[in-house]
Amino acid sequence: MITDIHFKEFVAQAHRVGEAGLTVCSSGNLSWRIGDEVLISGTGSWVPTLSKEKVAQCRLDTGEVLNGVKPSMEHGFHLGILRERPDVNVVLHFQSPYATAVACMKHIPSDFNVTAEVPCHVGAEIPVVPYFRPGSPELAAAVVDAMKNHNSILLQKHGQVVCGKDFDQAFERAMFFEMACRIIVLSGGEYQTLGKAEIDDLETYVLGKKTK
């Protein structure tokens, strides 16, 4: 059951996202699964200064709004990801400066693995979703499909989406995503990436996914 404590935590986490510079004004949106229901930042709300009155409470299975607050225009992919990914409880759509600059490049990088934090936390593969109108069913479908097997994606000429088991994991992925894109932009294209052997080594000795 969602309580006032959940609303307060959601608002606090939204402000954390804003304070980190991941969203500005009305850009971006956030969702949190709590049992069979979801809290989603409301349409037109400003994540950095979000208030309880601007948070929508919805049923996960149907999307029915339970508290009269209209959810973000991107609620389609928020709910879709949470339905597809039982391991995920938090979805964050953000538009941080450097990652969004990369999303608007004519030639978007195919490899973001500039530091160990990227394959370890953001994902060794970051799909790029082509441009669809924000809030459209086409965008929602493309985002949900891309995130079935990935935790972080780039939206061409738009922004980024990450997910996580909790707020900390989603926040960490967003911050390291932005860090990687900052390196890519500031390098002027003269950057190196980790090779497959180096990524495999990280998966073995850092993430413990493999054994020698």
Distance CA 199, CA 206 (A): 10
Q: Tell which residue, 161, 159, 152, has the closest CA to residue 76.
A: 161
Q: Tell which residue, 113, 102, 98, has the closest CA to residue 155.
A: 102
Q: Tell which residue, 75, 46, 84, has the closest CA to residue 135.
A: 75
Q: Look at residue 194 in the predicted model and tell me its pLDDT.
A: 94
The contacts of residue 195 (CB under 8 Å, 6+ apart) are: none
* Residue 211, strand partner residues: none
How do the domains of the chain map onto residue ranges? 4-205
Q: Look at residue 211 in the predicted model and tell me its pLDDT.
A: 54
Residue written as token pair 């404590």? 5
Question: For the chain, where are the E strands, in sequence order?
Answer: 29-34, 37-41, 55-59, 90-94, 128-129, 152-155, 159-164
The domain 4-205: what is its CATH number? 3.40.225.10
For the chain, residues with pLDDT lower than 70 are 210-212
Distance CA 91, CA 69 (A): 19
Q: Look at residue 193 in the predicted model and tell me its pLDDT.
A: 96
